[in-house]
Amino acid sequence: MVQIEVDHPRHPVFLYSVGRFQDVSPTIFPITVTLSSKERTKIGGVRAAWQTTIQHPLSGRSFHYVMEWGKAEVLETIITSVLDGNLQLEPGVKKTCTFTLSIPHSLPPSCTTDFEKVTHTLFISALPPAPEYTDSATYVSPPSSINGESRGSFFSFRSKGKRAVSPSPVRLPSNDAASNPKEASLPPTLSPNLAIFRKDIRVVTPLCPKDVPPTEEYDSEKLLPGIGTFRYMFATGICTVGTASFLCCRLNDLNPLVTIYSVNVCLEQRVTSVDEQETHVDKWTMGGWECAADKKERMAYLWRGPEAKAYAGQDFEEQGHSGCTRDEIHLNGLPRTPSATLNCKPSTGPLLQPIVSTITHHLLLEFSYTTFQETEDGSWKEGPRMKQTLKRKTTVGDCSLSRPTVQTPSYVQSMDIPKINPEEYLEPYTESTLPPSFFIPRTSTIFINGVQEGKGRLYPGKYSPAQVRAHQLETGTFCVCFFELAPRLPEQGSGLNLMDTLQLFPKETAESLWESPEWLAKQRVRQEQDWKERHLQRRSHIPGFMYMFAWGCACNYSTSAGPQPKDRLKAGITYRSNAEE
């Protein structure tokens, strides 16, 4: 029996379709195949195939749970000849060869939504000795061109309704998975065979150019009717699933009759079907600010205006949070986006022809407040609780875009890295050792033609050990979801800002050494040691840390003092992985 061993770079495969023309090109993926046999065997060659398929759910779909997937449809098949001609395998002797596959950048990413499942599969087939299996490498369906741009061949493949040729019955080796009737047929010319290797490969299509991390930064000012002027700043070094970001909220010219009870930071994800008739909305509450726990009996609010306090019979100026004064609210923190195990998915980019659902994200700031109003008898009373939401579109990248992988992947160099089975060295996570990105509550709602269907469903943010372990093994934990936040964060319910607990640096020192790699390296060590002292029950393997360096809140930075506005990301999030050390 022929045995096939395959070696390839670690997941995922990056397909770049954004950036300069010379960067938007197929990804060259190197693969090493090793053949062996326990008895003398002649083979007629080796063929490889890359197959992209899509499955749609059958009846029984509900919130993020698909009862059953339909038959896989082939979107694209790429076939190449690895070895031509007959080859004799001797017992105990291994034959090795290396080749590359050119993966078109126009393919959709690997994804599973409530509407479809896209899978990329690598096949390696050892063929029986026969003269008809000596063709050269070929595409099953060649790419076409639209307006001079390269167009993925899966569009024409799908539109013509073609399917791969059904294989002849073969007996797979015992170490291969049994055939699944819902899977697509084997690619043509790979059967009959003496042995077949099959493995799903995760594909990511970043919405940023090569060598460019998916950063996000903006500084906006809005008028909140009935409340006041609101300025908010958002910055992160890598905006992905499971990341952390710096957020500053500042309110001025406040209505003196207003009482603000809470400000929540949420991430909204909208997954819309191809026909745009159905949208599934997830909203995660990533954090927020409210009255300090030790003050709730006396006031229970974040901030109350002077006239509202007078009508409420409160003669003290104290507010419910350290960032609140008589005339201003200044809040800052490090909210974290949810992990991929909580159904958070990367944003999708435009395709030349829509074949998968679109995924968009918005950052939400929700204000819960009341206003004192005059009644008919001339008295004043507090009005009903109201809510205002500020919404801004943002792009969320895949969690694999951490510092070790955000640069252009050098797949050839990665082939030299010793391959280690993750199950052998990655200890499973427990509830006490998981980062906060795995414990973010969410609500899910379904809209049909813009109308909500039924009630929303609440997920309390409990983690699934099986899903966490699967994600850990798939990524080797070198994804942002498993990174730890090194800065000292305020305790929940403390009523403190990040700047109240963060170890700040002298302004003069920060200005003079801000661009010094040596200085920043020392501060990383300082924050990491402080984190370890605060987490005595930590894991032995920490894949990476996220750091923050600042002498004050980023809203204090200006062109005349401190770091320039373009450098505010220094006061956002800086990433560093143990893999870099």
129 assigned to some structural domain: yes
Radius of gyration in angstroms for the set of CA atoms belonging to the chain, rounded to a whole number:
28
- CA 427 to centroid of chain Cα atoms: 22
63 assigned to some structural domain: yes
Same-domain pairing of 428 and 459: yes
Same-domain pairing of 183 and 309: no
281 assigned to some structural domain: yes
Do 2 and 43 form a contact (C-beta atoms < 8 A)?
Answer: yes
Q: Is the pLDDT of residue 235 over 90?
A: no
Question: Of 204, 238, 253, which marks where a domain is finished?
Answer: 204
**First vs last C-alpha separation in the chain:** 44
DSSP 213-269: ---EEEEEEEEETTTEEEEEEEEESS-BTT-B-EEEEEEES--TTEEEEEEEEEEEE
Which residue carries 């993020």 as its tokens? 64
pLDDT band at residue 153 under the 50/70/90 scheme: very low
Q: In whole angstroms, what is the distance from residue 67 CA to residue 72 CA?
A: 15
274 assigned to some structural domain: yes
What is residue 110's DSSP assignment?
P
Q: Is the pLDDT of residue 256 over 60?
A: yes
At residue 399, what are phi and psi to the nearest 5 degrees? -65, -15
pLDDT at residue 509, rounded to an integer: 62
Same-domain pairing of 120 and 69: yes
Same-domain pairing of 424 and 336: yes
Distances 22 to 18, 100, 149, 209, 529 between C-alpha atoms, Å: 10, 20, 12, 11, 43
Question: Of 430, 448, 483, which marks where a domain is finished?
Answer: 483
Same-domain pairing of 192 and 236: no
Do 50 and 28 form a contact (C-beta atoms < 8 A)?
Answer: no
Same-domain pairing of 20 and 135: yes
197 assigned to some structural domain: yes
Domain of residue 179, residue span: 2-204
Same-domain pairing of 170 and 235: no
pLDDT at residue 106, rounded to an integer: 86
Count CB atoms within 10 A of the CB of residue 430: 12
132 assigned to some structural domain: yes
Same-domain pairing of 125 and 62: yes
CATH of the domain at 233: 2.60.40.640
Same-domain pairing of 49 and 130: yes
Model pTM score:
0.84
- For the stretch 260-288, pLDDT in tens is 999 999 999 999 999 999 999 999 999 99
Q: In whole angstroms, what is the distance from residue 171 CA to residue 184 CA?
A: 17
326 assigned to some structural domain: yes
Same-domain pairing of 187 and 231: no
Same-domain pairing of 236 and 195: no
Same-domain pairing of 339 and 245: yes
Number of domains in the chain: 2
Q: In whole angstroms, what is the distance from residue 101 CA to residue 51 CA?
A: 12
Question: Of 165, 185, 204, which marks where a domain is finished?
Answer: 204
DSSP 373-442: EE-TTS-EEE---EEEEEEEEE--B-TT-SHHHHSPP-HHHHTTSPP--HHHH-PPP-TTTS-GGG---E
- For the stretch 450-477, pLDDT in tens is 999 888 899 888 888 999 999 988 887 7
Mean pLDDT of the chain: 81
Rounded to an integer, the average pLDDT of 552-560 is 69
For residue 424, what are the contacts with CB-CB under 8 A and spacing of at least 6? Answer: none
Task: Collapse the DSSP code of 330 into the 3-class scheme (helix H, G, I; strand E, B; otherwise coil) and give the result.
Answer: strand
The two tokens of residue 15 are 């397909």
572 assigned to some structural domain: no
What is residue 274's DSSP assignment?
T
